[in-house]
Structure 1
Amino acid sequence: MIRNYGFTFLIAALSTLIFYFSPSWSESFRPTQSQQQIFVEAKVVKMISSHLAPDARVPSITTGQQVFMAELLEGPEQGKQVKIDNPLSRQHNVYVDEGDVFIMMVRQTVNGTVYWAYNHKRSDAIYLMLAAFFALLLSFGRKEGLNSMVALYFTAALIIGVLVPSIFAGWNPILTSIVLMAVIIIVSFILVSGANRKSICAMGGTLLGIVAAGIMAQLFGEMANLSGIYLDKGEDVIYLAENLIPIRWLMFVAIVIAALGAVMDVAISIASAYNELRITDPKLTPKQLVHACMNIGRDIMGTMTNTLILAFAGGALTTIMMVWGFNMPANQFMNMPLVAMAVVNALAGSVGIVLTIPFTAWLAPYVFKPNQLEQQ
Structure 2
Amino acid sequence: MNTLVVLAAILFILMTLIGGKKGVRSFLALFFNFGVLIVTIIFMNDPNLNPIYLTLLACVAISAINLFYINELNSKTKTAFISTIITTVILLVFMIVLTQKAMIQGFGEEEVEELGMFSLYIGIDFVKIGASVIIMSTIGAITDAAIAISSPMREIHYHNPTLTRKELFSSGLSIGRDILGTSANTLFFAFFGGYLALFIWFKDLSYTMGGIVNSKIFSAEMITILIAGISVTLVIPITAWITAYSFVKKGRSS
TM-score class normalised by the smaller sequence: 0.7 to 0.9
Q: Is residue 291 of structure 1 aligned with residue 148 of structure 2?
A: no
* 1:198-237 map, 5 Å: 198-230=76-108, 236=115
Deviation at residue 252 of structure 1 after TM alignment: 1.6
Structure 1 residue identity aligned to 2:77: S
**Who is 1:165 aligned against?**
42
Give distance in 2, aligned partners of 1:232 and 1:194.
45
* 1:73-84 map, 5 Å: none
* 1:301-320 map, 5 Å: 301-320=180-199
Name the SS of the counterpart of 1:155 in structure 2.
helix
Which ranges in structure 2 are unaligned for 5 or more consecutive residues?
Answer: none
Aligned residue pairs: how many? 248
Deviation at residue 240 of structure 1 after TM alignment: 6.4
Deviation at residue 320 of structure 1 after TM alignment: 2.6
Q: Which has the higher helix share?
A: 2
Q: Is residue 196 of structure 1 aligned with residue 74 of structure 2?
A: yes
Structure 2 residue identity aligned to 1:168: N
Which ranges in structure 1 are unaligned for 5 or more consecutive residues?
Answer: 1-122, 372-376
Equivalent of residue 153 in structure 1, options 21, 24, 31: 31
Greater relative CO, 1 or 2 (CA 8 Å, sep 6+): 2
Give distance in 2, aligned partners of 1:238 and 1:163.
25
**Who is 1:128 aligned against?**
6
Deviation at residue 306 of structure 1 after TM alignment: 0.9
How big is the alpha-carbon RMSD for the aligned residues of Structure 1 and Structure 2?
2.7
Question: Do the aligned partners of 2:165 and 2:245 also contact (CA within 8 Å) in 1?
Answer: no
Give distance in 2, aligned partners of 1:214 and 1:238.
32
Over alpha carbons, which structure has the higher Rg? Answer: 1
* 1:63-102 map, 5 Å: none
Deviation at residue 273 of structure 1 after TM alignment: 1.8
Deviation at residue 204 of structure 1 after TM alignment: 1.3
Q: Which has the higher strand share?
A: 1
CA deviations 1:119-177 (Å, max 9, x no partner) are xxxx11111111111111111111101111222221111111x2011111121111111
Name the SS of the counterpart of 1:229 in structure 2.
coil
Moved more, 243-252 or 287-296: 243-252
CA deviations 1:206-249 (Å, max 9, x no partner) are 22233444444443332222113349979949946885222221
Give distance in 2, aligned partners of 1:308 and 1:330.
23
- TM normalised by structure 1 equals 0.60
Q: 1:330 to 1:180 in 2, by over 3 A?
A: same
Q: 1:238 to 1:364 in 2, by over 3 A?
A: farther
Question: Do the aligned partners of 1:214 and 1:348 also contact (CA within 8 Å) in 2?
Answer: no
Deviation at residue 324 of structure 1 after TM alignment: 5.3
Structure 2 residue identity aligned to 1:266: A
Structure 1 residue identity aligned to 2:139: L
